[in-house]
């Protein structure tokens, strides 16, 4: 573990309600990506990281298939449910259901800038209504014991000052929320797509650092533009935790190093073979329940990124996992392709080394 993380490991337990959650490192809620199959896969790589569901709207839980939306595997703990909504009573109902289902945290989305989210009066547009957010968090805190947290941007549209960011946070903190996950970019609600809102507005990490200085009693987790564990270690002396999103999805192997590098767990990380062999029984069980293979394998396409055979692995899954009746054999075949390529690569490397030695090089 990085020396500067020692104090932070203890700080990040703050704001945990009755169940203290280590917030040192978390994987962000990502719409259409961080579903239960993806989270199970991530948990094979890291036992310590806090995982988040993709955003689920209050309307979906109240009027839709609540059991399906809230379903997760026990192995996913610690896992947080992210809610989208702006009605305090609806959010309170959903927070209570989350606790009853066994989630470790409820998070309110105040950061998503998409048009679809804005039309429902939730997501980043809620940053213009801090008292509404305060009322929502209080309503949830009043009915459950698990932590209620807020994920937000540093501002929206014409919010140009740090003081306006404080104006958003203060009433929510006064309502009892103690954990704020801050995406260190503004969001433009008009003129930029969700993808552009993740890339074009400049990152402003100093504002997030300043929040921790100005509100030392709050737990501040930083998010946005973080691509490596070394970057995490750069942030951790200044905040309580780091949240990583798309980088962890596109290159999930980085998660295998989290427990050792950030949490100081004195245990070798799993190998890719370990992870795949642990994934097979899960996939088999899910297929028996009627889950389509590609609903699981789409989340692991980047698992062998940078490894010989990665392209063969991705191609085989992309071309076959979506087919009607695709079974575990498709995944085993993809695994065999990458394993064979790696073995060939090692054999060539050994032959070259032997040749160099025999030539006296």
pLDDT at 352 over 70: no
Mean pLDDT value of segment 227-244 = 98
Known catalytic residues? 112
pLDDT of residue 191: 81
Same domain, 163 and 56: yes
Q: How far apart are CA 219 and CA 23, in angstroms?
A: 9
pLDDT of residue 15: 43
- The b-or-e profile of 118-135 (16+ CB within 10 A means b, else e) is beeebbbbbbbebebbbb
The residues with which 156 forms a beta bridge, in sequence order, are 187
Asked whether residue 267 is assigned to any structural domain, the reply reads: no
Same domain, 248 and 283: no
Same domain, 164 and 34: yes
- Count of Cβ atoms closer than 10 Å to residue 64 Cβ: 12
pLDDT at 5 over 70: no
Asked whether residue 109 is assigned to any structural domain, the reply reads: yes
Q: What domain count does the chain have? A: 2
Which of 207, 228, 261 lies at the terminal end of a domain, its last residue? Answer: 261
Same domain, 201 and 302: no
What is each CA distance from 330 to 81, 302, 317, 327, in whole angstroms?
A: 32, 17, 7, 6
Question: Distance between alpha carbon 84 and the CA centroid of its chain, in Å?
Answer: 16
C-alpha closest to that of 221 among 76, 31, 25, 21? 25
Which pTM value belongs to this model?
A: 0.91
Mean pLDDT value of segment 118-130 = 86
Q: How confident is the model at residue 348 (pLDDT cuts 50, 70, 90)?
A: low
C-alpha closest to that of 180 among 205, 201, 156, 208? 208
Asked whether residue 266 is assigned to any structural domain, the reply reads: no
Asked whether residue 203 is assigned to any structural domain, the reply reads: yes
Same domain, 284 and 245: no
Same domain, 203 and 168: yes
- What's the mean per-residue pLDDT of the chain? 91
pLDDT of residue 122: 85
Question: Distance between alpha carbon 221 and the CA centroid of its chain, in Å?
Answer: 12
Q: How confident is the model at residue 9 (pLDDT cuts 50, 70, 90)?
A: very low
What is each CA distance from 113 to 85, 185, 222, 223, 282, in whole angstroms?
A: 13, 11, 18, 15, 34
pLDDT of residue 39: 98
pLDDT of residue 18: 42
Same domain, 314 and 257: no
Asked whether residue 69 is assigned to any structural domain, the reply reads: yes
Q: How confident is the model at residue 7 (pLDDT cuts 50, 70, 90)?
A: very low
Better-predicted residue by pLDDT, 126 or 190:
126
Chain segment 17-54, per-residue pLDDT in tens: 445 799 999 999 999 999 999 999 999 999 999 999 99
Q: How confident is the model at residue 359 (pLDDT cuts 50, 70, 90)?
A: low
Q: Which domain holds residue 207?
A: 5-261
Q: What CATH number is associated with residue 78?
A: 3.20.20.70
Within 8 A by CB and 6+ apart from 216, the residues are none
Same domain, 251 and 276: no
The mean-pLDDT minimum among 95-109, 181-195, 284-298, 300-314 falls in 181-195
Same domain, 133 and 57: yes
Asked whether residue 97 is assigned to any structural domain, the reply reads: yes
The mean-pLDDT minimum among 6-10, 205-209, 331-335 falls in 6-10
Q: How far apart are CA 101 and CA 195, in angstroms?
A: 32
Percent of the chain with pLDDT over 90: 82
What are phi and psi for residue 8, nearest 5 degrees? -65, -35
C-alpha closest to that of 139 among 164, 191, 181, 175? 175
């Amino acid at each position: 573990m990085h020396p500067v993380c020692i104090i932070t490991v203890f700080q990040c337990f703050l704001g945990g309600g009755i169940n203290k959650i280590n917030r040192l490192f978390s994987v962000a809620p990502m719409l259409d990506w961080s579903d239960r199959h993806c989270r199970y896969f991530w948990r094979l790589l890291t036992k310590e990281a806090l995982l988040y569901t993709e955003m689920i709207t209050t309307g979906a839980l109240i009027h839709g298939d609540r059991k399906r939306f809230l379903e997760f595997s026990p192995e996913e703990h610690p896992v947080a449910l992210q809610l989208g909504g702006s009605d305090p009573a609806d959010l309170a109902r959903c927070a209570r259901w989350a606790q009853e289902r066994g989630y470790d945290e409820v998070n309110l989305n105040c950061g998503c800038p998409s048009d679809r989210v804005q039309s429902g009066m939730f997501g980043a547009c809620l940053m213009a209504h801090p008292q509404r957010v305060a009322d929502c968090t209080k309503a949830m805190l009043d009915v459950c014991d698990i932590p209620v947290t807020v994920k937000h941007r540093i501002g929206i549209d014409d919010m140009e000052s740090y003081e306006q960011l404080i104006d958003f946070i203060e009433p929510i903190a006064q309502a009892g929320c103690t954990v704020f996950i801050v995406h260190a970019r503004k969001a433009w609600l008009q003129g930029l797509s969700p993808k552009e809102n993740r890339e074009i507005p400049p990152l402003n990490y100093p504002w997030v650092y300043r929040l921790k200085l100005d509100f030392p009693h709050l737990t501040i987790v930083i998010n946005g533009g973080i691509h490596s564990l070394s970057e995490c270690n750069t942030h951790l002396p200044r905040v309580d935790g780091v949240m990583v999103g798309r980088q962890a999805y596109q290159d999930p192997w980085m998660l295998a190093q989290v427990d050792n590098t950030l949490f100081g767990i004195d245990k070798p990380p799993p190998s890719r073979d370990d992870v795949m062999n642990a994934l097979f029984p899960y996939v088999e069980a899910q297929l028996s329940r009627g889950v389509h293979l590609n609903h699981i394998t789409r989340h692991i396409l980047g698992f062998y990124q940078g490894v010989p055979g990665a392209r063969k692995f991705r191609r085989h899954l992309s071309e076959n996992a979506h087919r009607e009746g695709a079974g575990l054999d498709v995944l085993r075949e993809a695994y065999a392709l990458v394993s064979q390529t790696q073995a060939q690569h090692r054999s060539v490397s050994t032959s070259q080394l032997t040749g160099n030695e025999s030539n006296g090089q």
